[in-house]
Amino acid sequence: MHLAVCGVLLLGSTLVPYFAQNLAASASFSPLLSIYRALNATPWVSHAQVNTGQTVMATDRTGQTKTTQLNVIQVLPVYG
């Protein structure tokens, strides 16, 4: 039984990347992926993170207000 479970997990771990390889290019976050890749390609950036989000607030007087955020974090190494 243990070998069967391990075999299924091994098979699944090899097939999932094949089926998901174009998922990032077709998803709604593909513009963010190009920003992330450009930041990571910069030689002095050791880590990059790109986040986006939307906040919706409903009030009685004005209806709904939407705020969209784009947060870019770059970690630069410090050499001392």
Rounded distance between C-alpha atoms, residue 5 and residue 49, angstroms: 35
Give this prediction's pTM.
0.47
Question: Long-range CB contacts (< 8 A, 24+ apart) of 64-70?
Answer: none
- Tell me what percent of the residues of the chain surpass a pLDDT of 90: 9
Question: How many alpha carbons fall within 13 Å on the CB side of residue 8?
Answer: 4
Rounded distance between C-alpha atoms, residue 55 and residue 47, angstroms: 26
Domain boundaries, the chain: 2-75
pLDDT at 5: 93
pLDDT at 49: 82
